[in-house]
């Protein structure tokens, strides 16, 4: 008990200290954010862009799908280019050609090596010199550069029209014809792309690095990695090794947990689901439906990498273009996983407290309707936005926010936040009696309760920015949602629920489980909270962000080092007693979570997290390799495992097919492995080579994205996708069989009735 008090104290201290540092660094990001100029003018005072052009251009970019169509500062889609990197290289080569022609050459390529070197040095000086005047708010450029800027802006105005001159490029980028219907929006879109490019090459005042720490890599303009990237990368490796060494020492010093003798029969066998618990079934049906929809849209999205405007010959881009299918695909991943976890909370809260609050079932039903309203409403708003049927203000509220994973318009985000508050109230009031009752599981219930509060409140970070907030601050709070809300507090919640399940089944001691969950949470949040910063290295932030992010994101990997042992312990639970076989496949889904946590979050995550690594590979296909392996492999399998536990205890007398679950488990895991290691990882490595040797712009160019090697690797994803999809269909068949299948004569898991012995035969006299 004393040890638990120390762990609670450590948890509180780490929570407060980490968020204190995160808040101070957020303030620095706000103060040091790249400025948005009042105007961009030539040295003679001729106007090029205004602040309104840049801000309105950003809103036009959001209506296109924002980060779902190409990327900005490396965050977003992978078929179209990173717009800032693409602008930077186009403007640079255009300016070199302008200078070369003034020197009498046909173009820059026609010059000899000495003249090329002189113009390249001039280019670096021209682009890297910061001409922003904080007093007037003006950026001043030379007449020659103004000519290059106007030519580059013209390229993008043409690209987002229906001009046949760029029809092939639009198809390569998976951009529909006339994706921007308004001429003014097309013109202003270039202003926003110029600004993102300007931040990436212009040096911060008094420093020799750009606002984005010299990202993206482009040697032509002097964008090379700074020394701090290498130094803090080496420090992160040392921090990782030290952390793993300490954890191994701690585990060895603590020794093995006491062996627990499993009960003779299932403690949950006599559980009678309450009306609100039964009402969660519709949530789990929704989970499977959203999961199947996500897989279908993922297949369409992946195919757009080969046929940019068609799906096996059918032109569907006019109705559901790449930006829309990718939006829905990424959002559905969040929606169905979160739904599974939210339903788990609603199911287990009355079960843990043995208390069904008044009107709990009605609250559960209302919340389910609210969920459907948010999903359908936000999807409709995003379709209207990308079809250019909403103005900029309407788009902000009801359309497409443009920021990956938090794409839904502000109105729908507010409704989702309100729904989470309802969920928090429903789970909290059902848990409260258990929280007040002294007992060995009280600490675990307390952890569930705290994580429930955090889940409810931390989505509020998605409501912190306005239409014209600094992009650096939007990125800062966006990753609060993605990293802290999805990857952080949901995982704490799930860890505590699983511990409560095993303790309730009598397979672990409640006191030991409480200590283990507390310790795991302390270790996880030590790296997890400040580890959020590794997403922000190149988002207009300063070097301290790199330092803090590198060190603490390395610590995120530390608890993953012993996941092989955890997986073994979890698997052994299935052998504890014959009745545990009732829960075999839900438990094995948790074993799968441990595997993918190590591989997807650990190995593939750390492969891209060190600053020097991320400098070259941010925005390349190594990122979705980590994303797919971690999001589905960890959080998806976890959601399915929790769902199956709920269904196993709720449907004791209904057909339960272990055969279908076995096939679903293996096909989903094998399919995910094929998708990641046969296709996405090789794609990422191929792009990384070109990013390192030539430049990031080239790794994202059509020459690479649509090269024979890349298109072959895209097609190599098909077998893994098919196997994975079969697993999802099998899971849906299992659900259908469970809900409409025949009833058993007695609850599954109950001991077989012993036969009554017949009386002995007495010989007749």
Q: Residues 275, 338: one domain? A: yes
**222 φ/ψ sector (left φ>0, alpha ψ -120 to 50, else beta):** left
The per-residue pLDDT for 695 is 98
- Quick one: what percent of the chain has pLDDT higher than 70? 96
- Indicate whether 520 pLDDT > 50: yes
Question: Both 280 and 410 in a single domain?
Answer: yes
Q: Are residues 271 and 391 in the same domain?
A: yes
Domain boundary among 422, 437, 452: 437
At 13 the pLDDT is 96
Q: Give pLDDT tens digits for 361-385.
A: 999 999 999 999 999 999 999 999 9
Domain-embedded: residue 296: yes
The residue among 255 and 739 whose pLDDT is bigger is 739
Strands of 47-50's sheet in order across: 47-50, 39-42, 138-141, 132-133
Residue 313: inside a domain? yes
pLDDT in tens, 225-274: 999 999 999 999 999 999 999 988 888 887 665 567 888 899 988 888 99
Give the Å distances, CA to CA, from 106 to 90, 97, 119, 752.
18, 8, 15, 90
d(CA 609, CA 531): 10
Under a CB-based contact definition with an 8 Å cutoff, are residues 41 and 138 in contact? yes
Domain boundary pick from 212, 240, 275 = 212
What pLDDT is stored for residue 749 in this prediction?
Answer: 65
Average confidence score pLDDT of the chain: 93
Helical spans, DSSP H, in 387-470: 392-398, 410-436, 442-458
Q: Of 177, 194, 212, which residue constitutes the final position of a domain?
A: 212
The answer to whether residue 580 sits within a structural domain is no
What pLDDT score does 281 carry?
Answer: 96
| pLDDT tens digits, one per residue of 46-79 | 999 999 999 999 999 999 999 999 999 999 999 9
Share of the chain above pLDDT 90, in %: 81
Res 258: pLDDT: 59
Over residues 275-294, mean pLDDT: 97
Mean pLDDT of all residues in 550-571: 86
- Contact in structure between 665 and 609 (CB atoms under 8 Å): no
Is residue 176's pLDDT more than 70?
Answer: yes
* Predicted confidence band of residue 751 (pLDDT cuts 50, 70, 90): low
Same domain, 286 and 186: no
What are the tens digits of pLDDT across the range 403-458? Answer: 999 999 999 999 999 999 999 999 999 999 999 888 888 889 999 999 999 999 99
Considering its fold, how many domains does the chain have in total?
Answer: 2
When mean pLDDT is compared across 148-157, 216-225, 347-356, the lowest value belongs to 347-356
**How many whole angstroms separate alpha carbon 583 and alpha carbon 756?**
30
- What is the rounded average pLDDT of the residues 455-470? 95
Query: Both 297 and 170 in a single domain?
Result: no
Half-sphere exposure of 500 (CA within 13 A, CB side): 28
**Residues 119-147: tens digit of each pLDDT:** 999 999 999 999 999 999 999 999 999 99
pLDDT at 257: 59
CATH number of the CATH domain containing 420: 1.20.210.10
- pLDDT reported for residue 742: 77
Claim to verify: residue 322 and residue 379 sit in the same structural domain: yes
Mean pLDDT on 485-497: 86
Q: Are residues 132 and 201 in the same domain?
A: yes
Q: How far apart are CA 56 and CA 52, in angstroms?
A: 6
Q: What is the mean pLDDT of residues 172-192?
A: 96
Element (H, E) at 720: helix 717-740
Query: Residue 437 has what pLDDT?
Result: 86
- Residue 654, phi then psi, degrees to nearest 5: -110, 155
pLDDT at 745 exceeding the cut of 70:
no
Instruction: Judge whether 563 lies within some domain.
Output: no
Q: Which run of H or of E encompasses 71?
A: strand 71-72
pLDDT at res. 271:
86
Same domain, 192 and 288: no
Is the bond preceding residue 216 a cis peptide, omega within 30 degrees? Answer: yes
561 or 335: which carries more pLDDT confidence?
A: 335
Sign of torsion over alpha carbons 742, 745, 747, 748: negative
Please tell me the pTM assigned to this model. 0.94
Residue 549 vs residues 461, 558, 762: alpha-carbon distances, Å: 19, 15, 85
Assess whether 407 and 348 both reside in one domain: yes
Q: Is residue 220 part of a domain?
A: no
User: Residue 748: pLDDT above 80?
Assistant: no
Residue-wise pLDDT for 78-93, tens only, equals 999 999 999 999 999 9
pLDDT in tens, 657-712: 999 999 999 999 999 999 999 999 999 999 999 999 999 999 999 999 999 999 99
Is 145 a domain residue?
Answer: yes
Report if residue 387 sits inside a domain: yes
- Is the same domain home to 384 and 299? yes
What is the C-alpha radius of gyration for the chain, rounded to an integer number of angstroms? 28
In this structure, are 177 and 274 located in the same domain?
A: no
Q: What is the pLDDT of residue 531?
A: 95
| Judgement on whether residues 340 and 197 belong to the same structural domain of the protein | no
> Looking at residue 439, what is its pLDDT?
83
User: Quick check: helix, strand or coil at residue 190?
Assistant: helix
pLDDT of residue 761: 37
| Domain, as residue range, for 338 | 257-437
pLDDT reading at 755 higher than 70: no
Residue at token pair 């060995």: 440
Q: What tokens does 745 get?
A: 């004569």
pLDDT at 752: 54
pLDDT of residue 750: 61
Residue 353 lies in a domain: yes
From the list 30, 90, 76, the residue with the least C-alpha distance to 174 is 76
- What was the pLDDT predicted at 746? 61
Give the pLDDT band (50/70/90) at residue 576. confident
């Amino acid at each position: 008990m004393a040890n638990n008090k120390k762990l609670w104290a450590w948890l509180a201290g780490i929570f407060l200290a980490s968020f204190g540092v995160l808040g101070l660094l957020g303030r620095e990001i706000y103060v040091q954010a790249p400025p948005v100029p009042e105007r961009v003018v030539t040295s003679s005072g001729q106007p090029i862009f205004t602040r309104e052009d840049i801000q309105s251009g950003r809103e036009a970019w959001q209506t296109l799908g924002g980060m779902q169509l190409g990327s900005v500062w490396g965050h977003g889609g992978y078929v179209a280019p990173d717009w800032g990197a693409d602008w930077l290289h186009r403007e640079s080569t255009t300016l070199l050609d302008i200078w070369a022609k003034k020197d009498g050459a046909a173009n820059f390529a026609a010059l000899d090596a000495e003249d090329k070197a002189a113009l390249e040095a001039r280019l670096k000086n021209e682009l890297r010199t910061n001409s922003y005047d904080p007093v007037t708010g003006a950026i001043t450029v030379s007449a020659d550069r103004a000519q290059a800027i106007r030519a580059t802006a013209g390229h993008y105005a043409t690209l987002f029209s229906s001009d046949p001159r760029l029809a092939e490029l639009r198809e390569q980028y998976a951009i529909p014809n006339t994706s921007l219907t308004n001429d003014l929006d097309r013109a202003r879109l270039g202003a926003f792309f110029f600004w993102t490019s300007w931040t990436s090459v212009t040096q911060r005042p008094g420093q020799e690095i750009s606002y984005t720490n010299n990202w993206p890599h482009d040697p032509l303009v002097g964008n090379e990695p700074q020394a701090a990237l290498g130094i803090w990368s080496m420090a992160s490796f040392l921090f990782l090794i030290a952390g793993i060494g300490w954890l191994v020492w701690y585990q060895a010093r603590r020794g093995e947990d006491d062996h627990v003798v499993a009960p003779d029969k299932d403690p949950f066998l006599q559980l009678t689901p309450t009306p609100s618990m039964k009402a969660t079934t519709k949530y789990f049906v929704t989970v499977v439906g959203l999961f199947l929809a996500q897989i279908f849209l993922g297949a369409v999205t992946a195919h757009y990498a080969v046929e940019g405007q068609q799906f096996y010959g059918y032109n569907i881009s006019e109705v559901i273009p790449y930006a829309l299918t990718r939006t829905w695909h990424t959002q559905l991943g969040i929606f169905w996983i979160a739904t599974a976890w939210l339903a788990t909370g609603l199911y287990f809260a009355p079960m843990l407290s043995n208390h069904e609050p008044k009107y709990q079932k009605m609250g559960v039903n209302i919340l389910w309707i609210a969920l459907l309203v948010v999903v359908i409403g936000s999807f409709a708003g995003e379709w209207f936005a990308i079809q250019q049927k909403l103005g900029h203000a309407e788009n902000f509220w009801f359309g497409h926010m443009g920021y990956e994973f938090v794409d839904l318009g502000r109105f729908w985000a507010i409704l989702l936040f309100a729904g989470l508050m309802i969920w928090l109230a429903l789970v909290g009031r059902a848990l409260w009696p258990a929280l007040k009752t002294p007992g060995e599981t009280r600490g675990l219930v307390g952890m569930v309760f705290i994580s429930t509060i955090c889940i409810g409140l931390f989505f509020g970070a998605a409501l912190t920015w306005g239409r014209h907030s600094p992009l650096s601050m939007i990125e800062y709070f966006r990753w609060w949602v993605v990293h802290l809300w999805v990857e952080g507090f949901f995982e704490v919640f799930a860890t505590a629920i699983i511990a409560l399940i095993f303790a309730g089944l009598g397979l672990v001691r409640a006191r030991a489980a409480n200590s283990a969950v507390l310790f795991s949470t302390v270790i996880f949040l030590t790296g997890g909270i400040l580890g959020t910063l590794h997403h922000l290295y190149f988002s207009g932030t300063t070097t301290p962000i790199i330092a803090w992010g590198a060190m603490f994101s390395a610590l995120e990997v530390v608890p993953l080092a012993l996941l092989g042992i955890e997986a073994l312990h979890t698997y052994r639970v299935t052998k504890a007693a014959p009745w545990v076989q009732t829960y075999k496949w839900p438990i094995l889904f948790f074993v799968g979570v441990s595997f993918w946590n190590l591989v997807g979050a650990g190995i593939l995550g750390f492969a891209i997290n060190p600053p020097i690594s991320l400098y070259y590979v941010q925005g390349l296909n190594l990122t979705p390799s980590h994303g797919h392996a971690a999001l589905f492999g960890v959080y998806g399998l976890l959601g399915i495992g929790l769902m199956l536990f709920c269904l196993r205890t709720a449907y004791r007398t209904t057909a339960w097919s272990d055969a279908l679950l076995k096939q679903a488990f293996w096909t989903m895991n094998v399919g995910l492995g094929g998708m990641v290691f046969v296709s996405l990882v090789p794609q990422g490595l191929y792009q990384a080579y070109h990013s390192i040797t030539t430049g990031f712009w080239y790794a994202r160019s059509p020459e690479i994205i649509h090269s024979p090697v890349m298109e072959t690797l895209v097609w190599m994803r098909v077998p893994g996708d098919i196997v994975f999809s079969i697993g999802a269909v099998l899971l849906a068949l299992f659900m259908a069989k469970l809900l409409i299948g025949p009833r058993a004569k007695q609850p599954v898991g109950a001991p077989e009735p012993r036969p009554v012995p017949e009386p002995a035969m007495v010989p007749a006299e």
